[in-house]
Each structure stands twice: as C-alpha cells, then as structure tokens.
Structure 1
Amino acid sequence: MDKTRVRWGVLATGGIASSFTAELLKMDDAEVVAVGSRTEASAQAFADRFGIARSYGSWAELAADPDVDVVYVAGPHSAHRAAAGLCLAAGKAVLCEKAFTLNSGEAEELVALARQHDRFLMEAMWMYCNPVIRRLAEIVKDGAIGEVRTVHADFGLGGPFAAEHRLRDRGLGGGALLDLGVYPVSFAQLLLGEPDRVQADALLSPEGVDLNTGMLLGWDSGATALLSCSITADTPITAAVTGTGGRVEFERGFFYPERFVLHREGREPKEFTAGDGDRHSLRYEAAEVMRCLRAGEKESPLVPLAGSLAVMRTLDAVRDRIGVRFPGEEIHRP
C-alpha cells in the first residue's frame, strides 16, 4: 500500500456512498480508484459523477481489483454481511456502514472472517470518530461528571415514508432501529458498555418494521439509558449524560456535534469544542481507517469490533422485545 495515498473502492452507489466519496475526494491522502454496484449502469453513472477510473457491475469484480486497498461497504443493512464478507475473503480491508449487519450472528461471522484473513474491519460509526464525541468520552472517563447515572438520546425523522421506501422495507432490514436507533444505542454504550437489561416497546408498520421505538437500558451499576428512534416523528435529536457530579448536554444533531456543554454545581457552564467546526464531515472516520491501515492495525481503537458486536446484541434484544424479524433470520436472545 502507498504510504501517502490509500486507495479506496466504493461498494454501492446510494446517498451515503455519494456523501462519503465526496469527502474522500477532498483528502490529499485518499484516492477513490473503483466503484462497484449490482449493475454496470449504476456503477458507471457513479464513476462518471465522481471521476472514478474504474466501475464494475458486480461486487466480486470490485473485490478482485488489485489496486484497491480498502472497500467502503455502503449498501442496505441486509447486504452488509454478504458484501463485506466477500471483500474480506478477497483480502481487502473493509469499512462497513452501520448498523454493522442485520443481527449479531452476522456481525460475529464478519469479525471471524476478518481475523481468519488477517484483514482490517471497522463499522462506519462516524460518531465515534468525531473529535467532540471523543472529547466527551475522555472527560467522562476522567470523572468530570462523577459516576454516570442516566443517558438520554433520541433520533427521529418526521417522514412520512411510503410503504415502498427502504426505511419500511423489511427485506432490506428497514425500520427506525437499525437506521436511526443505532446512534442512541451506540452513544449510550460508548459511555457505559453493554447493558445488563433491555426493555423496549414499539409501534410496528403493516410490513412488520418498527416505526417508533422506545428503549430502556439498565446496568448493574445503577445507570440507565432512555433512548428512542422514529421514522414517524421529527424528534429533537439531542442527548444528555448525567452523573453524580454534573451533566453534559448536546444540541440538535448529537451524533455529529460541534460542541457540548458541561454543567457542574457551583461552577459556570463550560463549553467544549474540537476540530474545525465541520460537523457534517465523514472524513474523521476515513482518516481513522487510513491511520489504522498505515499502522498495520487490524481494528480501530476508536470503533473496536467488540463494541460493534455489543451494540448488535443490544439491537437484537430490542427487536426480540418488540417482535421484529427480518426474512430468514435467527436473532440472538440474551
């Protein structure tokens, strides 16, 4: 691998693939050399749009390209296991969109494949790579708010989304939980780890996916997390963390923040910012992937595979409580 430029392949051509590719093209140390899709027409259109030299009408052709160092897997949840697994087996490093897979069983299979082939694998939980979120994790670990007692976070979109939309397509892993709820759950588990108890309730669509879901997670330490996600309501999309010695509050867009405020009794509120204020940027996770590849690391300390597996187990537990199943799957039941 070129130590100055990491060569990317992009698998899928949808909205998030476009956003991520646009960010890669702004980075001096990244090069997008190929794109792959299920059809040649889609791949070629994407390549033409972004000036990518090679386009492939199949995932296998992209995975076999000898000039690709790492593949960004950006298809629907239902395709993550197959697409990422194909690339890992072909010897490619992989950055796979979240939710990592449909369920924890598939996630475990991907991690096993990465270790079998000695390849880098990371979930594209860009929130964890954001410098403001990283600063939050640091101050909480250092005891700035004492022992964490409660986490509140929500992510909801007002829609409405038609029955044929991907967010309501059971065959694609649709619903609020995997697309949006993964953020509040990941936020809580970044600070508290995997919960010891999971409770949940939801409104389901006629197709059998969750439209509006509430979650209560509990830890033996006494901490709780009250989380929600929706594709029927435009929620505040905020977060707050309260401890025995203070609290932290995030404004709208907590999962890609530019600031948070620390409140402690008897002290003036303290604002924390980091980075260059480009809160929408996906480049933080791209930079972390490239740092890991250059260092020869097989997983990222910012987005560890054990953490991704733990989040998938929690999402499985939530779906078990609310009765959501995807075609042909067996899910983990803690």
Structure 2
Amino acid sequence: MSKKYNWAILGCGGIAKKFSIELKGLSNANLYATASRNLENAQDFASEFGFEKAYGSYQKMVEDPNVDVVYIATPHTFHFEHTLLCLNHKKAVLCEKAFAINSREVKQMIAASKANNTFLMEAFWVAFRPKLLKVHELIKTENLGKLKFVRSDFMFNGEYNPKNRLYNIDLGGGSLLDIGIYPVFTALHFLGTPNEIKTIAHFSPTGSEETISIIFGYKNGEMALLNSSFDANYKNDVDLAFENGYIKYHRFSSEPIELHKNDTTQLIDFDAGPNMGYQFEAIHLMECLDNNLLESPILPHSFSLKLMETLDAIRKDAGIVYPNHDSI
C-alpha cells in the first residue's frame, strides 16, 4: 500500500490553487503546509484548502521535518533558487514549468537532486494526462505511417497590463515561457530535438514578447509550426500529420480526439474527468517516491533539460532577453 505523503505548497498563487483542489482528492496526499513570504497569504491559502500549517517563510517551511514533497509555484525566475532550497533540505520537489529561466540553471538543479539523493520533477502536467496516452495508443495501433508535421498553438487574448507578471521580463514574462512552452513540449515530445529553429516575435512595450511563431526543421524533412500569444484568441489544438492520416486533439478539454484516415473521420470520445488533470502528475510523483526513484521515467531530467535548451535556442533566435538574469 502506498505511503501517505505530506505535501507543502511554496508560493500561494493561482496555479497553486488549481493544483491543491485536485491534490486534495488523493487518498495518499496529506495537505500539510503552505508557505509564502507573507504569512497572512499562507494562512488564507491553508484555510481555504485545508492545509494543517502555514509559514511566512520558505526557510522555516523546508526546515519542518514532516514535509515530504514541495510543489513550487512561484514565478519562473525564482524556480532555481527555491528548488535548490528544497533539495538541499532533502525535500522532494515538483517544480512548475518553465523549470527555470535557462538551461544552466536546470543543469544545477539536476546536479543538486543527485547530490542530495532527492527526487526532482518538472510539473509538466499534460505529460501525465490520459488524453496524451490515448493519442499514443492511436499512433501505435492505427498504422498511420511516419509523423511528418506537428502544429501546436496556445493563445488567449489578455488585457495588456505592464504590472502583470505575464509582461514583467524580470519575472521571465512573455508568452514563450508561460504558454509557448506547451507547443514546444508537443513538438519535442513527438518529433524530438530539431536541427533548425526559426522564429518571428512581437514585443510588448515592457520588452516581453507577447506573440511568437516558431518553425522547427528536422534532417529527415519533418517540420513543426508552433504559436503562442497573449494577443489573439484561438483554440489550444494539436495537429499531428502522418503519411496516412492525421490526429487532431484539444490539449486540455474533454473534446473528442479526431482521427482522420482513409478519407474518414472518427471521433473518439474522451472523459477527462471532473477536473483539469493536475492530479495525475501528483499520483505519478508519489509512485516514483514509493519506488525510491530520483526522477520520473515518464518525464526524466534529460527531457526537462532538452526542453530548456530548446527554449534557450528559441530565445536567442527571437532576441528575447531577461536583462536582470544571466544571459543564455
């Protein structure tokens, strides 16, 4: 029987709330502690979701010997610092994407995981959702031939606000690290590392890119077209074009998966459940801890590093710079 793990939340913002709602439904997850630099925020969060303790200091939280796992939900530019803090106190870490601000930080995070013999995983929740597993099943069973082209988008039309985190380059703002990372993940997941990257980006007055289009080219002729934007309203769809057909699916919703083959279309109903699906990454993490693993076999350290190295290459081509942080 699985051990019951004491979870702590580091950073009590919006994504942490979504995660906690679904964590609460897991029988082997105990909602133990919250931590914020503002004690009142941590207390309010703990009260809302039923955590046992609240800390007004990240340091005090990691010094609590009863904390088993920390979910890090602070802005991108703090992920490196907070991950090292937790790992150096032997706390298993589930860190939100983007994993860090650049690949140099990711390499140090992975080294700290190994040095401390402590589990580390990026919270790339879509990698664990049953819908993606179903897509892989269709690819395996439907004789679609080789995958030749991937199109993936993530866009929403948000109100421009220079004070918002999304537009603050000191916090890693811009569409690429916040939502463009999903299309990039999709291309890497299905096609692997590209041989060539071309980008076009549009920048907001704060210097953050609010729209970016990316083309991946591969040596065998495969291609990927990826788009993200805070300035356009569009579905978060994925198209996978094979030699003998294509698959289309919505990344998040319970909309049916479309399988197009031999001039026919099959709609494959998919029950995504009552929630978004953040619980699946938590379930997987605890299974890894049950088996004394230091990394996930589904989302290993090597993939998170490859993802960040690809994001670095995109930033370099697009001219995306975070002035108060190390250059790529």
TM-score, normalised relative to structure 1: 0.93
Rounded Cα–Cα distance in structure 1 between residues aligned with 2:189 and 2:326: 26
**Counterpart check, 1:195 vs 2:194:** yes
Confirm or deny: 8 A CA contact 1:157 1:231 kept in the other structure: yes
Q: What amino acid sits opposite 2:244 in the alignment?
A: G
| Match of residue 281, structure 1, among 273, 277, 283 | 277
Q: Is the 8 A contact 1:250 1:257 kept in 2?
A: no
Counterpart for residue 259 of structure 2: 262
Alignment-derived partner of residue 69 in structure 1: 68
Please give the secondary structure, in 2, of the residue aligned with 1:157.
strand
Question: d(CA) in 2 for partners of 1:31 and 1:119?
Answer: 19
With over 3 angstroms needed to count, the CA separation of the structure-2 counterparts of 1:45 and 1:175, relative to structure 1, is same
Mapping of 1:1-334 within 5 angstroms? 3-140=2-139, 144-251=143-250, 254-255=251-252, 259-265=256-262, 268-273=264-269, 277-278=273-274, 280-332=276-328
Deviation at 1:55, TM superposition (A): 0.9
> Structure 1: which 5+ runs fail to align?
none
CA distance in 2, matches of 1:72, 1:259: 31
Task: Tell whether the 8 Å contact from 2:8 to 2:69 is kept in structure 1 after alignment.
Answer: yes
State the alpha-carbon separation in 1 of the partners of residues 5 and 280 from structure 2: 15
Maintained 8 Å contact 1:132/1:258: no
Contact 1:132 1:272 in 2 (8 A): no
CA shift in 2, pair 1:60/1:99, >3 Å = same
Go from structure 1 to structure 2 and tell me whether the alpha carbon gap of 1:38 and 1:327 turns closer, same or farther (over 3 Å shift). farther
Query: Offset of 1:259 from its aligned partner?
Result: 3.5
Alpha-carbon separation, structure 2, partners of 1:53 and 1:278: 25
Tell me, yes or no, if the aligned pair for 1:247 and 1:262 is still in contact at 8 Å: yes
Residues 252 and 276 of structure 2 are in contact (CA less than 8 Å); yes or no, is this contact kept in structure 1?
A: no
Q: Displacement, 1:293?
A: 0.9
* Larger mean Cα displacement after TM superposition, 9-18 or 21-30: 21-30
Segments of 5+ residues of structure 2 without an aligned counterpart are none
Spell out structure 1 runs of 4+ moving beyond 6 A.
Answer: none
Q: Is the 8 A contact 1:132 1:273 kept in 2?
A: no
Q: Deviations over 1:197-225 (max 9, x none)?
A: 11111001121111110000111121110
Contact 1:137 1:191 in 2 (8 A): no
2:233 is paired with a residue whose SS is: coil
Structure 1 residue 30, shift from structure 2 partner: 0.8
Q: CA deviation at 1:103?
A: 1.1
Contact 2:254–2:272 (CA<8 Å) still a contact in 1?
A: no
Distance in 2 (alpha carbons) for counterparts of 1:256 and 1:117: 38
Deviation at 1:135, TM superposition (A): 2.3
Q: CA deviation at 1:294?
A: 0.8
- Relative to structure 1, is the Cα distance of residues 314 and 142 closer, same or farther in structure 2, using a 3 angstrom cutoff? farther
Whichever residue aligns with residue 208 of structure 1, its letter is G
Calculate percent identity across the aligned residue pairs. Answer: 35
After superposition, the CA RMSD in angstroms is 1.8
Compare 166-175 and 129-138 and name the one that shifted more: 129-138
